Amino acid sequence: MTASTETIASTLLGWYDRHARTLPWRSPPGMPAPAPYWVWLSEVMLQQTTVAAVKPYFARFLDIWPDVGALAAAEESEVMAAWAGLGYYSRARNLHACARAVAERGGTFPDTEDELRKLPGLGAYTAAAIAAIAFGRRAVVVDANVERVVARLFAIDEPLPGARKAIREAADRITPDERAGDFAQAMMDLGSSVCTSRDPKCLLCPLSHSCEGRKTGNPASLPVKAPRKAKPVRSGTAWWIEREGRVWLVTRQGTGMLGGMRALPDDGWHAGGDGSGSAPMDAAQTPLGIVRHTFTHFALELSVVAIDGEAMPDGTGRWWPLEDLDEAGLPTLFAKAARLALAER
């Protein structure tokens, strides 16, 4: 390391010692590292999700499954139901698969990036975060916050995603050999509270004296992002079938869009359907309204239609008591549809 990169690391670690966020999955600076299970669970939950949204889910998972062995022994459907509302449901399936893989190796996580990468669902970022934070390994941890801090610190103005190689190389140069986990979390905290996306607080930043982006006069312009493409809009239909205080729920098949989750029966929009599929039973239908939801690659307009519940629905499912509907673990889309149906029926 050059003197300047050593100064960056020591300055930031000093700032972190004074200003580290208190988070339920973290250990304060100077304390023993948190359990690898906590680090892994929180990092998977935090992917594309805010800290505020994750906190109650993290607490709930620890309450139900206090260690990786308990999570591995759970049914996948139970894990999916507990995850409901957190989004990006493939994470929950990977979480369960990873827990089982760790249980098979005696219930202990490997302590190196290379070995962690061999576990189901662990990409480069998550493996690096666990290695650094839980095991004290020197690892280069780059999430969206770190990416923003480094792009500004070194004035990397190549548009994303092309700039990611240069950003990672720069992050590698300033990552210290000691306290790499604290350094990674310090970078995350700096990006979330000071070097924010729209309004960087340069006067409060401990690295402002070293920041090339600040010297340009417009640090908020970094990192440069490619123009967003408009998301296509799909349409679909979900059916509300109610009988004697219960609603008919199905379990979605496969591992694709919301696979394995409980849901209202629908017309297959998730497979690219155009909303013209047939109803799950031959009975009178009453339109209740439309709910809208945005997924990663498209937006959805889902028509919610009530069907007379006297006839028996096609296929397999379960009559779920309306009073316990909150316990069904419906994903956000179908929770929206259920709220609409309950309000309009």
Catalytic sites, residue numbers: 43
CA distance 176 to 166: 18
Q: Which residues pair with 200 in a beta bridge?
A: none
Q: Which residue has the tokens 């200003």?
A: 19
CA distance 303 to 61: 33
Residue 129 C-alpha from the chain's centroid: 15
Q: Which residues pair with 236 in a beta bridge?
A: 302
CA distance 21 to 190: 10
Q: Which residue has the tokens 């827990």?
A: 99
End-to-end CA separation in angstroms for the chain: 66
CA distance 123 to 94: 11
DSSP class of residue 327? G
Tokens of 234: 């799909």
Q: Which residue has the tokens 């000071």?
A: 194
DSSP letters along 280-320, please? SSSS-EEEEEEEEEE-SS-EEEEEEEEEETTSPPSSS-EEE
Other CB atoms within 10 Å distance of the CB of residue 270: 19
- Closest among 308, 330, 322, 321 to 264, alpha carbons compared: 330
Tokens of 147: 């990416």
- Closest among 10, 27, 18 to 176, alpha carbons compared: 10
Q: Which residues pair with 319 in a beta bridge?
A: 248
Other CB atoms within 10 Å distance of the CB of residue 166: 15
CA distance 110 to 116: 6
Other CB atoms within 10 Å distance of the CB of residue 60: 12
